A = this chain, B = another copy of it.
Amino acid sequence: MSSLEPGQRSHLAKIARLYFLEGESQAAIARRFGISIATVSRAIAKAKDEKIVEFRINDDAGHFGELELHLEREWNLAECMIVRGFEDSQTTFAALAVALTEMLQRLLRDGSVVGVSWGETLKAIGEHLGPVRAPGVRVVPIIGTMGDIETGIYPNSIARSFADGLSARQYLLNLPALVDNRAIRDAMVEDSHYRTVQALWATLSVAILSVSGLSESTSMYRSGILSAAELQELRDAGGACASNFAILDARGNTIENPITDRLVGLPFRDLERIEHVIVVAEGSAKAPALRAALKSGVVDRVIVDERCASEVETPRVPV
């Protein structure tokens, strides 16, 4: 730790002033003082070190720059976007969709393949996705179908709304997400229908996921895919989060569970190979599930509302 002689300090300040405030190049400063460019560079580095020059970011109040950065660092994310939360969840979803649109605009390339999961969050967001200009994008579900009738949260429907928003080509996955037993699943994944989608999954550059807790407010329960008893079983087994039908414990590890063997969808761990794994979540209720998903380490990018974000950062202690 080198301390500074008195004169040194004002000399560094002068160089920093010329560089940062006056916009002079380091070469010009070097000429002016008759020292080398390298010395100027090192002087500026030292001025930063010694806090002789400080930077101030004038973010709008009402933006969440600090918190975003905090979460990015804490969870090793490439990017965290926090949007303002509204009373009405639907409005918040629209705001999240705007953020996701902007993010996809940046991330998508010609020919990118986007995998879309399932759930009420993604359904709502798909409906509000804005147009993105990127040619040749393909959208594919990463979870099988469920239900016999096309409801709003039918995975192919959600993928369609994403494809529409992105002006992309949609690929269908016409196999059920959950079959009766492992044997059936094992047989099914041999079929060319699965093989085709699987090949597409192998080329995914973006995956878009949501998370859910395992209370009875989860879509998986409300749409009748899991029974109350099955949910209880999952919670008993330590389940804290469901994402694309994978069940994670609070540490972010996938846990074995009654549905694992009967599932047709992109395996959770396969997300690791995907360049951009985006999770979207709305509301503080999602925070514990989101935290579990973050702990898994496979999530790159997060788009959440402020309530979810602050709850993730500073969890209320359960009473």
CA distance A33 to B6 in the complex (A): 43
Task: List residues 29-51 of chain A with CB under 8 A from any CB of chain B.
Answer: 32-35, 51
- Contact yes or no, A57 B106, CB < 8 A: no
The reply on A13 being an interface residue by CB < 8 A is yes
CA distance A10 to B306 in the complex (A): 15
Chain B residues near A57 (CB-CB < 8 A)? 13, 16-17, 20-21, 52-53
- Contact yes or no, B14 A65, CB < 8 A: yes
The reply on A3 being an interface residue by CB < 8 A is no
CA distance A6 to B84 in the complex (A): 13
Identify which of B9, B65, B79 contacts A60 (C-beta below 8 A): B9
- Contact yes or no, B59 A13, CB < 8 A: yes
Task: List residues 60-84 of chain A with CB under 8 A from any CB of chain B.
Answer: 60, 63-65, 68-69, 78-79
Chain B residues near A148 (CB-CB < 8 A)? none
The reply on A318 being an interface residue by CB < 8 A is no
Identify which of B18, B53, B59, B106 contacts A56 (C-beta below 8 A): B53
Given A14-B65, A16-B57, A53-B55, list of 17 further CB < 8 A pairs? A9-B59, A10-B59, A10-B64, A10-B65, A13-B59, A13-B63, A17-B57, A20-B55, A21-B55, A21-B57, A22-B69, A33-B79, A34-B106, A35-B106, A52-B59, A53-B57, A56-B56
Q: List 5 A-B contacts (CB under 8 A).
A: A17-B65, A22-B69, A32-B78, A35-B106, A52-B59
The 10 closest A-B pairs by CB, nearest first: A34-B106, A20-B55, A10-B63, A13-B59, A34-B107, A54-B56, A17-B57, A32-B78, A13-B65, A13-B57
